[in-house]
Amino acid sequence: MTGLEVIPRSPAILAPHEGESPRLQAELLLAHVLALPRLRLYLDFERVLTEPELERMRALVQRRGAREPLQYVLGTTSFCGREFRLTPAVLIPRPETEQLAEHAGQFLTGLGDRPVAVLDFGTGSGCLAISLALRLPNAIVHALDVSVEALEVARENAALHGVSDRIRFHAGDGLGALPPELRFQLVVANPPYIPTAEIATLAPEVRDYEPRTALDGGPDGLESVRRLAADTPPFLAAEGRLWLELGDGQAGPARDLFERAGWQVNEVLPDLAQRPRFLTAVHPPHDR
């Protein structure tokens, strides 16, 4: 059987995922099996697949047909134009977090060429920490996560992109896991922000496969945001800034929460759908 024959048969059992057509997913799976760029398939459709290749293709299609996210099936995803390894131990990065990386990167660029320290709170796959390290050669990035398995993936990604020497990995639940003498010019966070009761209503790809610890933000989705507001100030340098990604509808409550904790909220910026999504704030030095 050739690739030209395999691809039309696969979409019948592939569920659409985040706007991707079943045929596109079939092409991506076949390209993965054959270790080829997807566009090369169009030049090689008459290639006859070996029986092991067919068996592997069938297994991957069945996994995706069972609603396992395509990114986990492929073991990789794209973030800020780069490929990152993924496993079910880490959250699949969303386009909104690419925007967070851009906002944070612009802030760091504005600090000039002097050495800076950055904290990525809840690093997961490390995509955000690594993207900032690649953008800012003068940055040392600290990557914190409660999951040891996630940190293993992040370390692999750091090695893949050649920044292992500028990323420090920390395992622990919250900023208390960090050495107390650390001071950061930037703390960036994409914390869990889905209210606990809403997780059961999510698409199977998210609800059944992505790590719950990376999704569950507590009863109102703001549990990690409260911890960041309370625990971050001692770790900020004098000019330090917090950049935070929020869930839909959380911008107002998060702003109130930070201001009550003594922060000055500089602005709340929208995502591509014009929903308030990204909060940036500073904490007066005399309060630290």
The CB density around residue 138, as the number of other CB atoms within 10 Å, is 12
Q: What are 61-90's pLDDT values in tens digits? A: 999 989 999 999 999 999 999 999 999 999
Same fold, 3-66 and 89-287: no
User: Taking the domains of the chain in order of start, what are their residue ranges?
Assistant: 3-66, 89-287
Check if the beta carbon of residue 35 is closer than 8 Å to that of residue 42.
Answer: no
Rounded Cα distance, 50 and 156, in Å: 31
Domain 89-287 of CATH type 3.40.630.30: no
Top-tier CATH class for 3-66: mainly alpha
Amino acid identity of 278?
F
Q: What are 179-233's pLDDT values in tens digits? A: 999 999 999 999 999 999 999 999 999 999 999 999 999 999 999 999 999 999 9
Q: What are phi and psi of 32, to 5 degrees?
A: -65, -45
What's the confidence (pLDDT) of residue 16? 58
Rounded Cα distance, 79 and 95, in Å: 8
Q: Where are the alpha helices (DSSP H) in the chain?
A: 3-9, 22-34, 51-65, 70-74, 95-109, 127-135, 148-160, 204-207, 223-231, 251-260
Q: pLDDT under 50 in the chain at which residues?
A: 286-288
What's the confidence (pLDDT) of residue 215? 97
Print the SS3 string covering 199-215. Answer: HHHCCHHHHCCCCHHHC
Q: What are phi and psi of 30, to 5 degrees?
A: -65, -40
